[in-house]
Amino acid sequence: MADINHVVLVGRLTRDAELKFTNAGLAISKFSLAVNRRAKKGDTWQEEADFFDAVWMGKGAEAVSQYLLKGKQIGIQGELRQNRWEQEGQKRSRVEIFVTSLMLLGGGRGQAPAEPAASGEASQSAPGGPGAATPASGGPSADEFNDDIPF
């Protein structure tokens, strides 16, 4: 059986993305994601956050990096990668998420209109809110569309 290494997370950015370029011109965007979860402590439920470091490389990272601002909600898919190195005689390691797909979701600093992620996936926003889609010129708006589906 083949090994599986697949991660899917939805959370909020803990800081603005850091965009750098290699000598060969490859864009590398690094950011940290906070994912909330509920845990029961005694008789009460409490919110707890887990923090994950992520790395996105390539043209998609360069195109979307300007929208990766602290507080912005995003969804990512990728795989876990472990970096190992030695520092001052001590072995160190760090697990990061190597992003293969990213989707801009809602909210965050600035409330700028959502832009599609470079992976080809469209971003989602609340109807009528910032970044809401407008009908194509000449086409009916959502209010003019007659829908006979009973659900």
The number of beta carbons lying within 10 Å of the beta carbon of residue 66 is 13
Q: Is residue 25 part of a domain?
A: yes
Q: Is residue 149 part of a domain?
A: no
The alpha carbon dihedral of 76, 105, 60, 33 has a sign of negative
What is the C-alpha to C-alpha distance for residues 105 and 83, in angstroms, rounded to an integer? 29
Ranges 73-82, 95-104, 123-132: which has the least confidence: 123-132
Q: Is residue 119 part of a domain?
A: no
Q: Is residue 2 part of a domain?
A: no
Residue 96 sits in a domain whose CATH number is 2.40.50.140
Flag whether pLDDT at 101 surpasses 80: yes
Q: Which residue has the higher pLDDT, 120 or 150?
A: 150
Q: Is residue 123 part of a domain?
A: no
Q: Is residue 55 part of a domain?
A: yes
Residue at 56: amino acid letter: W
Q: In the structure, what pLDDT confidence band is assigned to residue 127 with cuts at 50, 70 and 90?
A: very low
Query: What is the count of structural domains for the chain?
Result: 1
The answer for residues whose C-beta is within 8 angstroms of residue 89's C-beta and 6 or more apart is: none
Q: Is residue 95 part of a domain?
A: yes
| Average pLDDT score over residue span 96-105 | 94
Flag whether pLDDT at 13 surpasses 50: yes
Please answer whether residues 11 and 73 qualify as being in contact, where contact means their C-beta atoms are separated by less than 8 angstroms: yes
pTM summary value: 0.66
Q: Is residue 70 part of a domain?
A: yes
Range of the structural domain that residue 75 is part of: 7-111
Distance (Å) of CA 99 to CA 6, 59, 85, 143, 145: 10, 13, 21, 38, 38
What is the C-alpha to C-alpha distance for residues 60 and 49, in angstroms, rounded to an integer? 27
